[in-house]
Amino acid sequence: VTNLSVSVENLCTIIWTWNPPEGASPNCSLKYFSHFGNKQDKKIAPETHRSKEVPLNERICLQVGSQCSTNESEKPSILVEKCFSPPEGDPESAVTALQCIWHNLRYMKCTWLPGRNASPDPNYILYYWHNSLGKILQCENFYREGQHIACSFNLTKVKDSSFEQHSVQVMVRDNAGKISPSFNIVPLTSHVKPDPSHIKNLSFQNGDLYVQWTNPQNFQSQCLCYEVEVINSHAETHDIFYVEEAKCQNTEFEGNLEGTICFMVPGVLPDTLNTVRIRVKTNKLCYEDDKLWSNWSQAMSIGQKANQTFYITTLLIIPVIVAAAVIVLLLYLKRLKIIIFPPIPDPGK
């Protein structure tokens, strides 16, 4: 092939273009064989271009050749290679640990640490782009979380189901151009963290504890799974139950059950105090990443507290006993001193 060139669109989309080989036979139905370094992502297609969405933090090369059919056994022409090099600058100055999480399908928060050789207190800029945007946008909401620097921007799930098949391209650099830019690509099928669920009701039925809660907004029930934590104050037990999606269908539950999830904790006594919390995460049915748990929900308790009379009486009696002991010690201090430190006998006697 001839005139193989490379360019960048948006933030992290690399596009290679080329022209057909000169003097190709008119009887040859040209197909183009291409692959990246180490022969990754092989492709045979009639188009004279190829694109790849990739973070621009490392050098990436594409090799292209032509042949007259789609048969992989047919030897292509001499391969032509074109590489794209990362931006110039000290790589030790680029930000590290760049990570972006899509919170409850409403906004995306990116966090990072300053680079080892970065200038003190640089003014960072975060650019982002995805398919639903007409142009590259700049994040405005910067703040700190301990040692991490963070910036969040609105990213609402659109009705188009193909939206989640795309990615968000992110670049972080400083406005003075003294640090090397750092890139990241966040697939919208992963890095999703739901908001906590809301516990609606706790009730006892036949020696079992029934828990009802609602899902966080923007999520379908079949896309979530849960953990229910039950702490029993009397037995001092701490149990966590893993729950997959299950709608309420029992007649024991009351009220509007639409959008409500239910779970039964067996063997819970009503005469003890039980505290319940719930957290939620996405599952592999709808998302590739299923490791980001939400925060725990607000705790809700049910049952009877232990009798506090004994503890209150004990707390009142202890100071009285201590005071009486002090008075006795003061009254008999001289006698105690003689017992503890007896006088030395007179050597003359």
Examine the pLDDT at 74 and tell me if it is beyond 80.
Answer: no
Looking at residue 227, its pLDDT comes to 93
pLDDT at 162 (0 to 100): 66
- pLDDT of 159 above 90: no
Q: Do 85 and 59 contact (CB within 8 A), yes or no? A: yes
* pLDDT for residue 109: 95
Lowest-pLDDT range of 4-13, 90-99, 114-123, 196-205: 114-123
Output the pLDDT for position 24: 77
For 334, 336, 339, 342, the CA distances from 346, given in Å and listed in that order, are 20, 21, 18, 12
Q: How many CB atoms lie within 10 A of CB 170?
A: 27
Question: What pLDDT score was predicted for residue 163?
Answer: 67
pLDDT at residue 204 tops 90: no
Amino acid making up residue 254: E
Average pLDDT of 220-226?
88
When pLDDT is averaged across residues 92-116 and rounded to a whole number, the result is 92
pTM score of the predicted model: 0.77
Q: Alpha-carbon distance 327 to 325, whole Å?
A: 5
116: confidence class by pLDDT, cuts 50, 70, 90: confident
Mean pLDDT of 195-200: 92
Residues 243-265: what's their mean pLDDT?
Answer: 68
CB atoms within 10 A of CB 245: 15
Q: Which domains are present in the chain? A: 2-84 (2.60.40.10), 91-188 (2.60.40.10), 198-302 (2.60.40.10)
Can you give the length of the chain in residues?
A: 349
Task: Report, as an integer, the average pLDDT of 49-58.
Answer: 90
Considering only 199-208, 247-256, 314-323, 324-333, which range has the smallest mean pLDDT? 247-256
State what percent of residues in the chain have pLDDT above 70: 89
- Supply angle C-alpha 267, 268, 270, rounded to 5: 135
Q: What is the pLDDT of residues 141-151, one digit of tens each?
A: 999 998 999 99
Q: Tell me, what's the pLDDT at 257? A: 61
The reported pLDDT for the residue numbered 172 is: 94
CA angle 115, 119, 124 (to 5 degrees): 70
Q: Which amino acid is at 312?
A: I
Predicted local confidence at residue 189, as pLDDT: 87
pLDDT at 5: 94
pLDDT of residue 281: 93
Confidence band (pLDDT; 50, 70, 90) for 228? very high
pLDDT given for residue 250 in this prediction: 56
